[in-house]
Amino acid sequence: MADKHLHAASLAAQALGWVDPMTKAIVPPIHMASTYERDADNAYRSGRVYARPDNPTFDQAESTLAALEGASAALIFSSGMSAATACFLALSPGDHVVAPKVMYWALRNWLAAFATRWGLRVDFVDADRSEAIAAAVRRGETKLVWIETPANPTWGVTDIAAAARIAHAAGALLAVDSTVATPVLTRPIELGADIVMHSATKYLNGHSDIIAGALAGARQDAYWASLKTMRAQLGTILGQTEAWLLMRGMRTLFPRVAWACRSAETLAERFVAHPMVEEVLYPGSPSFAGHAIAKRQMRGGFGGMLSVRVKGGERAAIASAARVELWKRATSLGGVESLIEHRASIEGPGTPCPTDLLRLSVGVEDADDLYRDLDQALRRADNA
Binding-site ranges for ligand PLP (CB under 6 A) = 79-81, 84, 104, 107, 148, 152, 177, 179-180, 199, 201-202, 211, 213, 333
Alpha-carbon distances, residue 114 vs 88, 94, 216, 328 (angstroms): 11, 14, 24, 33
- H/E run at residue 83: helix 80-89
The smaller minimum CB distance to ligand PLP, of residues 81 and 147, is found at 81
- If one counts every other C-beta atom within 10 angstroms of the C-beta of residue 348, the result is 10
Least separation in angstroms between CB 134 and ligand PLP = 24
Q: Measured between alpha carbons, how far apart are the two ends of the chain, in Å?
A: 58
The smaller minimum CB distance to ligand PLP, of residues 147 and 326, is found at 147
Residue nearest to ligand PLP (CB): 80
Catalytic residue (choose from 54, 95, 159, 177): 177
CA–CA gap between residue 240 and residue 60 (Å, rounded): 12
The smaller minimum CB distance to ligand PLP, of residues 277 and 293, is found at 293
The answer to whether 159 is a known catalytic residue is: no
Catalytic residue (choose from 54, 95, 104, 371): 104
Catalytic residue (choose from 202, 231, 256, 359): 202
Least separation in angstroms between CB 202 and ligand PLP = 5
> For residues 56 and 69, is the Cβ–Cβ distance under 8 A?
no
Catalytic residue (choose from 48, 52, 262, 309): 52
The answer to whether 366 is a known catalytic residue is: no
Least separation in angstroms between CB 334 and ligand PLP = 7
The smaller minimum CB distance to ligand PLP, of residues 78 and 378, is found at 78
What are residue 151's DSSP bridge partners? 156
The answer to whether 50 is a known catalytic residue is: no
Least separation in angstroms between CB 65 and ligand PLP = 14
The answer to whether 177 is a known catalytic residue is: yes
Alpha-carbon distances, residue 83 vs 103, 199, 237, 262 (angstroms): 15, 8, 10, 30
What are residue 211's DSSP bridge partners? none
Return the active site residues. 52, 104, 177, 202
